[in-house]
Every structure is written in structure tokens, then in C-alpha cells.
Amino acid sequence: MRRSAAASLGLHVLLVAALLIGLPFGRSPEPPPETAVDMVFQSPGPATKAPAPAPIPAPARTPLPLPAPPAPTPPTPQPLEDTTPPPPPPPPPAPAVVAPPTPITPPPKPTPTPAIAAPTPPKAAPPPPLPPLPLPPPPAPPSPTAQPNPTVNPAPSSPALQNTLEKLRAEARLQARAPTARPNPRQGGAPNSGGDPLANDTSALSASERGAIGDHVRPCWTTDPGALDLDKMQVLLTVTTDASGVVRLAVVAPADQGRVAADPRLRVFSERAVRAVLSSACANLPLPAKLLGKVNVLTFRFRP
Amino acid sequence: MTHDDASAFALPRRGLIGAVGAALLAPGLAHAQAAAPGAPSAVIDVNRARAAPIPIAIPVFAGADGASSALGGDMAGVITADLGNSGLFRPVSQAAAAGINGAAGQPNFPAWSAVGAQALVTGSIAASGPSMRVEFRLWDVLPGTQLQGTAYTSTTANWRRIAHIIADVIYERLLGEKGYFDTRIAYVAATGPRGHERRRLAIMDQDGANPRSLTDGSWMALTPRFSPVHDQLAFMSYANNRPRVYLLDLANGRQSALGEFDGMTFAPRFSPDGGRVIMAVAHGSGSDIVVVDLASRAAQRLTHSDSIDVSPCYSPDGSQIVFNSDRGGDQQLYIMGAGGGGARRTSFGSGHYATPVWSPRGDLIAFTRFGGASGSFNVGVMQPDGGGERILAQGWNVQAPTFAPNGRVLMFESQSRAGEGGAGYSSHLATVDITGFNQRPVRTPTNASDPAWSPLGG
């Protein structure tokens, strides 16, 4: 008995220790994924790929002696092995300028208290003969707070088959009604904003105010004029400003993220757009007074 | 933007009109019409972008010792020159970069932003005897993010090529297209007095470094062309006073004549898969275009006319051939199918057209144009349907364009007018980007002509 109890105790201690060690309590966040790709550049030696240059004679008025043509030399590959580890990961990037959202602490749930069973009265001795019963009191008026509590089973006393049929009929009647449920409000959108991503603060701007902001950013907006299909490119950015109207964050809008991820040219196009709104010369947006004093989320559309 | 994208952005306006109409007819429908999923209800438009290079800082790569540090300076210099010469980057001066130090592997982004850099390249070199390890990282300064991180191990003798490869990686990551810095140029190097030049085949890096001769100059060599898949050149040689097209294996220097034809063969170019060579064959007073399969050496004649059909070049997908012909009475460009036949004229500008070459991107055909209203020589581009013609370079004699493998830059030869006794004459190479805004000379140790751009990494 003692042995088994000791063995059981030991196993429990091991289990608890394994859980404590295995669980990620107190671990630091994972470093950003290493994007470095360790490549071994293996090429023929300089005799083949970049041979020692046989100097070409400088221009002269008289023909110079001809350099001998290169002797056919077989390539001498130099196998190289990269045994060192890839570059160490950089430390995690500096925290974003926009403060992360403060986690909302949910209100403590009420601790369920165990129901206390009512004490059962002690059994009494057999009662004496009862006097004649008085008349029942009149029914009390319904309390305004009383809730009707209709029975779930419409035919509690019916036989089992009849009872089931009644249930089915009742469900069919409920299902015949028009649905009254409504979809949940849209979630997501710009960081810290919540709500509908398409209904951000841009809609609070008039056309002239939007035009003024676009004119302000335009001097910083540059493209590569030789890019293929440049005239067909455009991208939506979700831009977050601080209370003074300075751009603090710019990301590709969710509607365009798929296209940008699939097209390297559109990706660099969008990166240039991000640089335009983040550049110090253009990041201070001319927001109207009604939008100052709070964080704003705006939608920009960049086109060539 | 695709058609689907266009319709997506057309939705709000239509949705608005629909909502107004529905509101007039049935107020209950208005809400359903106005909400188009995925379409922004209001946006701030930014358009009419400027064409401007990306400001980029490339400080000297760090080195653990003196040799590594010297190598780091050299590599940063090559990368800076590559990116700067492309016209698409504006390197921040080393003086501005001096004194900006990061901490714990993270650059000082505010400091780099203050000197105007939007991109930053940091790197380090660890040289150990004949080998070295180079690490570099590309940073987006304003968001403060790393865009690329790569390490290379090689011999120190290859430092220059690794620098070109790093420049290509930066170019591709920031522009979305392959670079062209790890490439070579084959050309004809001329020495000696004008009229008596000795012309050799030569080869160099795209930036003019590492030039060397490929032939000894005993016989005149012209029009070298790179194979897209093999370390091989096709060129025309007057060897033994019999002008023919030859193949030259760059690894071992072996030469071999391509096919046996009665007439002179010239103006060769490889097919995009490298399996065939297309060229012109002279006959009587004209010339036809033939294609030779390199495996079987079987030849097929693609044109059968009494005119002069020359300078054929495949489209990048190999389905079409652009060439130069006087079949219409004037020297113009024509396009036919890869199997021959169905040639249609595609050049209609003023003057004569020659030396067409199809862009590797497929969107443009470069050409030489001469005569006409201006009377001068021009190098220009047009769309394959003949539209959008524009002149990129002009001069007393500019000709023979060749595309960089990414189709963004052209190299061509430019000759100056010769004075009495040939005085003042020169022939050199130059590059111009396809927008025509960035023209730069390419340094060569001798007079140079007939450039041919290698494929990337070739």
C-alpha cells in the first residue's frame, strides 16, 4: 500500500513538473523569422568566370602587338562549403509608434456558489386528525414582475408518440416564421479602430479636404516610370494618424493585400506609396480641425 | 490593374447611382444597393506621381580586419555604382552616412531618414585566406523593416561578382524586376589607325571591368551574340577570307563554323531556348534568313525573296521573328512567324530601319533608324505592332542596340565624326534606359562597337 502510494505520488510530481516545464510560462516572444538565406556562391574560379584580364592595348596610332588569344583552360571549380550558420536574427524591431491597444480586462466572472440544499425538516410524529379545511383564498393578482413560464412540453400527459408529434409540429411552426436574427457587425479594420474597415474617418472628410490631403502627399509620391504595366497599377492604403495628424502607420488595405502579395511589381508600388505617406516631408497631413485631437484611420488610393 | 480590378473600383459610383434611384422608388432598397462589399466608400486619391530614383544609403561593409575592411569598401563602391548608374537609385553620399551607427544589429533609422535615405544596405565581410563570407541586409528605412538578408561564401577573387549579385538582389527587391548587374558584354574591340583597325572579339563585365580579348585579331570579327543558355558566342568572322558565322565556346576557346553555305553567312542570333541560331545567308544580290538547329546542324530557309532580308531576331517566346528587309523598296522592319511566311511590315516612321532586337520583356523592339527628316542616326524603341515609337539616343552614328536581360536598358555603339586623317574619331559604347532619361557612357580600353549583352549570371 505504501509503495503504491509513494509511486503514485512520484508519478504525480513528475507529471506536474513536466507540465510546468512544457508550458510556455514566462517565455520571451519568438524572434522574428529569419529572412536571411545563406547561399553558397559556387562558381568556376577566376580563370573561367572572371579570368585575370589580358589587358587590351590602349588606343595607339600604330598597331600594337596582338595579345595572344586565351589559352583554352578547363574550368577549375573550387568547391566551397558554407559551414557557418546564417546571420543571426536581428533583435525584434522597435515598438511601433502607435501604442498597442490596451488589453481590455474582462470583468471577473461571478464565482458560482454551490447551491445550498435546504435543510430537510426532521420527521414529525403522525399529525392529529385535521380540522375541516378552510376555503381556498382567492388567487392573487399577477405580479408585474412575474414571468410566464409556459411548459416546454405542450402535451405532457399525452402518450409518447403523440408527444413527439406535437413537438415536431411546434418546431415546424417556429421554423416557418421569418428569421429575426441579424448578422454581427463587421469586425477588423485598421489597428485600434475596430468596426467596419470601409467606414473609417475618410468618410468624415469633404471632397475638398480629401483633395487637399492628396495634394499634400503628391510631392512625395514617386514611381518607376519604366515598370511594366505601371499605368494599370493602383493600391489602397490604410493610414493611421496620431492626434496631431501625423502619419504613424501605413499598411496595404485588406482589399488589396491579396493582389499585392501575388505581384512583386505591385508590392514595390505599394511600398513606394507607404514611403510617400511616411516621409517626413509629407507625413504631417492637413487634417481639418474636427479630426484633430484623436487617432484617425484614413484610406488612400495611390495611382501613377 | 486587371479588368476585374477596374470594375471593382467602378462599383462605388454605380452603387451610388443605384442607391439614389432606389431611394426615390423604394426607400427600403437603398441601403442594400449602396453597400458594395470590398469597395471603399471614400478614399483620398494620390496620383500624378513623379519619376524619381529611390534614395539609398550603402555604407562601407564592416570588416573584422584590415583586409576585410578594404574589401568592404570596394564592394560597397561596386554596389553603389551599379545602382546609381541604373538611374533608378540615388545613393546617399558616404560623407552623409559617416557617423551613423546602429545598436544591437538594428540600424539607426531616424538618423538614416534624416539624411534622406529611404533604403539602407548594411553588410559585413569576414575574409579568411582565399575565402570570404559576405552578409548583407536591405532595410526599408521609414517603416524600419528588413526587406532582405543574404549571406554569400566564395573566394575573395570573386568579390566583384558577389557585389554585382548583391546589387541585383537589391534591384529586384526594390523594383520588382530582375536586375542586370551580374552580366557581361561581348563586343568588338578595335585598335590601330582609322581605316586599318584590328578588330578582335572582347568581353568585359557590364560596368566595363575585367576586359579581355577573345580572338587575336588575325581576322576581323563582328556581331558577337550570347547564347541564352550556354557559355557560348555566335559571331561572324572573316577567317581565311571566307566570311561565315562561327560558334565560340567561352570556357575552352574552341571555335567552329556554323553550317556550310555557298554564300556568306552573317548577323547570327540564338533562339530563346538556345537550341537554334538564326542568321542571314547571302545569295546573288540579296540575302535570305535561315535557321540552323545546333544539335543536328540542319538548316531551314525561312525567307525566299530577291530582296535583302537580314538581322533576324526571335521574340522572347520564340513564336515570331523580327527582321530587316528592303522588299517594299525601302529598308524597314518586318515580323513573321517562327516558321517563316506571313511577314508584315511593322515600321512606318521616317527614314530607314535596321538592327531590330526584341526586348526580353517582349513589350518593345529596339532598332537603329537613319536618314529621313533628321538625317542623323537614332536608336529607338517601338511596340511590336509598330506603335509607340520613340527615339532614345541620337548622334552622328549611333547603332547596334542590345537589351539588358531585364529589358530595362539598352547598350549601343556611338561613333564620333572623323576629321581629316581620321582625327577626332572614336567609337565607344553607351547605355540608355528605355525611358530615354538616363544615358551613360561605358568605359572600354579601346574603341568599341557591336555590343551584345549576356543573360543574367552569364
DSSP A151-175: -SSS-TTS-HHHHHHHHHHHHHHHH
Q: E strand or H helix at A302, and its extent?
A: strand A296-302
> Is B133 an interface residue toward A (CB < 8 Å)?
yes
Nearest in space to B282 (alpha carbons), one of B297, B270, B267:
B267
Residues of A with CB below 8 A from B437's CB? 225
Nearest in space to A222 (alpha carbons), one of A285, A282, A292:
A282
- pLDDT bin (cut points 50, 70, 90) of residue A159 is low
CB contact under 8 A, A210 and B145: no
CB contact under 8 A, A228 and B1: no
Instruction: Let me know if B298 is exposed, middle or buried by CB neighbors in 10 A (0-12, 13-18, 19+).
Output: exposed
The pLDDT tens digits for B79-95 are 999 999 999 999 998 78
Mean pLDDT, range B306-321, rounded to an integer: 96
Residues of B with CB below 8 A from A199's CB? 41
Residues of B with CB below 8 A from A84's CB? 133, 153
pLDDT for B13: 38
A120 pLDDT higher than 70: no
Mean pLDDT, range A26-31, rounded to an integer: 37
- pLDDT bin (cut points 50, 70, 90) of residue A83 is very low
Helices B159-175 and A264-278 cross at an angle (nearest 10°) of 80
Residue B200 has phi, psi (to 5 degrees) of: -115, 155
Beta strands in B250-346 (DSSP E): 255-257, 265-270, 276-283, 286-293, 299-301, 309-314, 320-325, 332-337, 344-345
The pLDDT tens digits for B37-80 are 455 669 999 999 999 999 999 999 999 888 899 999 999 999 99
pLDDT for A137: 52
- Best residue in B45, B86, B409 for a mutation probing chain A (most A CBs within 10 Å): B45
pLDDT for A258: 96
Per the document, the length of chain A is 304
Among B3-7, B266-270, B315-319, where is mean pLDDT lowest?
B3-7
**Helix, strand, coil tally for chain B in percent (to 5):** 20, 40, 40
- pLDDT bin (cut points 50, 70, 90) of residue B282 is very high
Residue B353 has phi, psi (to 5 degrees) of: -115, 145
Q: How far apart are CA B452 and CA B366, in angstroms?
A: 13
DSSP one-letter string for B266-288: EEEEE-TTSSEEEEEEEETTEEE
Percent of chain A with pLDDT over 90: 34
Distance of CA B152 to CAs A227, B63, B71, B123, B169, Å?
29, 15, 14, 11, 12
Backbone dihedral region for residue B302 (phi beyond 0: left; psi -120 to 50: alpha; all else: beta): alpha
Nearest in space to B332 (alpha carbons), one of B341, B342, B343:
B343
The pLDDT tens digits for B186-236 are 999 999 888 788 999 999 999 999 999 999 999 999 999 999 998 999 999
Mean pLDDT, range A116-123, rounded to an integer: 37
pLDDT for A17: 61
Q: How far apart are CA B434 and CA B361, in angstroms?
A: 12
SS3 B344: strand
Candidates A39, A278, A299; nearest CB to B150:
A39
In this structure, which amino acid lies at residue A282?
A: C
Per the document, the length of chain B is 458
Take residue B97 and report the three cell numbers written for it: 552616412
- Best residue in B9, B13, B43, B160 for a mutation probing chain A (most A CBs within 10 Å): B43
Candidates A55, A69, A73; nearest CB to B216:
A69
The alpha helices in chain A, defined as continuous H runs, are 2-22, 160-176, 207-217, 254-262, 264-278
Q: How far apart are CA A298 and CA A240, in angstroms?
A: 6
In this structure, which amino acid lies at residue B29?
A: L
Mean pLDDT, range B159-163, rounded to an integer: 97
Distance from the first to the final alpha carbon of chain B: 33
Candidates A34, A50, A69; nearest CB to B253:
A69
> Is B273 an interface residue toward A (CB < 8 Å)?
no
Among A128-142, A155-169, A258-272, B275-289, where is mean pLDDT lowest?
A128-142
Torsion over CA of B176, B178, B179 and B180, rounded to 10 degrees? -150
Take residue B355 and report the three cell numbers written for it: 538592327
ipTM over 0.90: no
Q: How far apart are CA A154 and CA A173, in angstroms?
A: 13
Residues of A with CB below 8 A from B50's CB? 219, 221-223
Instruction: Let me know if B204 is exposed, middle or buried by CB neighbors in 10 A (0-12, 13-18, 19+).
Output: buried
CB contact under 8 A, B215 and A69: yes
Whether the pTM exceeds 0.90: the reply is: no
Take residue B380 and report the three cell numbers written for it: 529607338
Take residue B259 and report the three cell numbers written for it: 553550317
Q: Which residues contact A104 (CB under 8 A, 6 or more apart)?
A: none
The pLDDT tens digits for B215-228 are 999 999 999 999 99
Nearest in space to B33 (alpha carbons), one of B87, B245, B25:
B25
CB contact under 8 A, B9 and A234: yes
Mean pLDDT, range B242-249, rounded to an integer: 95
CB contact under 8 A, A218 and B150: no
Mean pLDDT, range B352-363, rounded to an integer: 97
The pLDDT tens digits for B403-451 are 999 999 999 999 998 877 777 789 999 999 999 999 999 999 999 999 9
pLDDT for A108: 39
Q: How far apart are CA A275 and CA A278, in angstroms?
A: 5
CB contact under 8 A, A227 and B175: yes
Residue B215 has phi, psi (to 5 degrees) of: -130, 160
Contact B430, B402 (CB under 8 A): no
The pLDDT tens digits for B284-305 are 889 999 999 999 999 999 999 8
Take residue A29 and report the three cell numbers written for it: 516572444
Residues of A with CB below 8 A from B152's CB? 39-41
The pLDDT tens digits for A63-81 are 333 233 333 333 333 333 3
Q: How far is A41 from chain B (nearest CA, A)?
A: 6
Q: Which residues on neighbouring strands pair with residue B132, listed in sequence order?
A: B127, B154
Q: How far apart are CA A247 and CA A237, in angstroms?
A: 12
Nearest in space to B279 (alpha carbons), one of B246, B250, B253, B306:
B246
Residues of A with CB below 8 A from B175's CB? 224, 227, 268
B8 pLDDT higher than 50: no
Backbone dihedral region for residue B371 (phi beyond 0: left; psi -120 to 50: alpha; all else: beta): left
CB contact under 8 A, A50 and B160: yes
Residues of A with CB below 8 A from B191's CB? 56-57, 59-60, 63-64
Q: Which of residues 172-211 of B touch A (CB under 8 A)?
A: 172-177, 189, 191-193, 196, 198, 200, 202, 205, 210-211
**A to B CB pairs, distance under 8 Å:** 270
Contact B417, B151 (CB under 8 A): no
Contact B217, B199 (CB under 8 A): yes
Distance of CA A241 to CAs A190, A201, B67, B71, B191, Å?
11, 10, 48, 44, 64
Torsion over CA of B432, B433, B436 and B437, rounded to 10 degrees? -100
- pLDDT bin (cut points 50, 70, 90) of residue A281 is very high
Instruction: Let me know if A5 is exposed, middle or buried by CB neighbors in 10 A (0-12, 13-18, 19+).
Output: exposed
